[in-house]
Structure 1
Amino acid sequence: MATTLSLINSILTNDKYKPILALIKGFRNGVVYGCKVRFPHSLVMTFLFKSGTLTEKLQGILEATYIHAKNLAFFTVIYKVITGALQWLQTEKNVGHIFLAASIAGYTVFGNYNKVNEQVNLYLLSRIIYGLAQLSVKKGYLPKPTKEPFPMFAALVWGIALLLFEYEREILQTSMKSSMTYLYDDSNTWHSLKDFLIYNK
């Protein structure tokens, strides 16, 4: 047993095996992170908004968790393989390598339409738009705000969201539309104390 552990440790600390081990660890981290992020989210959203039997709900939760974990794992591996190959060809990593590798991995893994991929891509889109706005100020492309910009950002986001919900709700993502229907439409309807306070309808 001690010999086996010693052999494993010698492999893990040997730089010769590091690229392969980084792929394995990246795959592992993708699976773990995907499960940690998706399982609780699916659990809450499914039991709050989805109908069906308990078995159907559990199957949906596990399927979404599996897709998210698998996709993050494969994206990580594909990205690392391509950046590693490009770095080997050109001796050092650069901006083009990163963008090309991530684009290919994104197209391959997250380019297949399903609800999980839609949510992941929309999450990333919102984060990069926010980040690019901050980067534009940092680089001097946009003037530095004289007042805290977050309140105006919140006002714009929520103003557009509710306009779309009220007038073009069919274009909204299903989960967003369900959430907004629950908050803004269902709160206008009740028939008794029971569906006023205890049940939605």
Structure 2
Amino acid sequence: MPAPVVAVNALLASGQYKPLLAILKGFRNGAVYGAKIRAPHSLVMTFLFRSGSLYEKFRAILEATFTHSKNLASFVFGYKTITTLLRWLQSEQLQYHSFIAAFVTGYFVFGKYNKVNEQINLYLLSRILYGLAKLAVKRRYIPEPQFSTFPWFAAIVWGIVLWLFEYERDTLQGSLRSSMTYLYDDSNVWHDITDFLIYNKPPIKN
């Protein structure tokens, strides 16, 4: 094994500089996870709903994947850096450190509007609303329901989103609107067997 690799392995095993190395590995994991999540999603959504040449589609996929990977890596790097500094300054880890670090980093990394950041922020919004409802029960701020609430949760979510789609669709996020158009509007239109079963719309004739 080459000497530099041996030296790096020894450093990693020693536990020295662990906070700094954790920041670097956080950056690495953010980049990898962002690419893993975005690439297949972007591939499917681009070929389902985006028009343009094959080159343009692959370029869009690569750009979205790069943006997601870069932003997630940057966020993890910034978050872990700030929490490490706060813990060092106060000689202990406090709960509000997490909020401050994420607040500051989120503003600079995910505060710039683009489609990728919009989707990530909306994804997190749905998760934290669900999590806060469960936390309220856990902390006994509200009584624990004596019946299954998930069917009612599903009913309210789907009732609201379909009402918005039918009557206020310009308020919905773009990719959701495209998906729902495909499901609910395009299924009302056909001309013959080809665009009833085989294609969503008649193939373009040259």
Structure (1 or 2) with the greater helix fraction: 1
SS of residue in 1 equivalent to 2:17: helix
Alpha-carbon distance, 1:192 to partner: 0.5
* Cα deviations by residue, 1:168-190 (Å, 9 ceiling, x for unpaired): 00111010000111111110010
Matched-pair identity in % = 63
SS of residue in 2 equivalent to 1:13: helix
Question: Which residue number corresponds to residue 115 of structure 1?
Answer: 115
* Cα deviations by residue, 1:7-44 (Å, 9 ceiling, x for unpaired): 11111123332122112111110010001100000000
Question: Which residue number corresponds to residue 3 of structure 1?
Answer: 3
Alpha-carbon distance, 1:5 to partner: 3.1
2:116 and 2:25 map into 1 onto residues whose CA distance is 23
State how 1:1-201 maps to structure 2 within 5 Å.
1-201=1-201
Aligned partner of 1:88: which letter? W
Aligned partner of 2:143: which letter? P
1:66 and 1:50 map into 2 onto residues whose CA distance is 18
1:112 and 1:28 map into 2 onto residues whose CA distance is 22
1:2 and 1:109 map into 2 onto residues whose CA distance is 38
Alpha-carbon distance, 1:139 to partner: 0.9
Aligned partner of 2:129: which letter? I
2:72 and 2:149 map into 1 onto residues whose CA distance is 33
Q: Which moved more, 1:39-48 or 1:5-14?
A: 5-14
Q: Which moved more, 1:9-18 or 1:190-199?
A: 9-18
1:150 and 1:57 map into 2 onto residues whose CA distance is 38
2:12 and 2:142 map into 1 onto residues whose CA distance is 47
Aligned partner of 2:68: which letter? H
Compute the RMSD of aligned alpha carbons. Answer: 0.9
Q: Which runs of 5+ in 1 are unaligned?
A: none
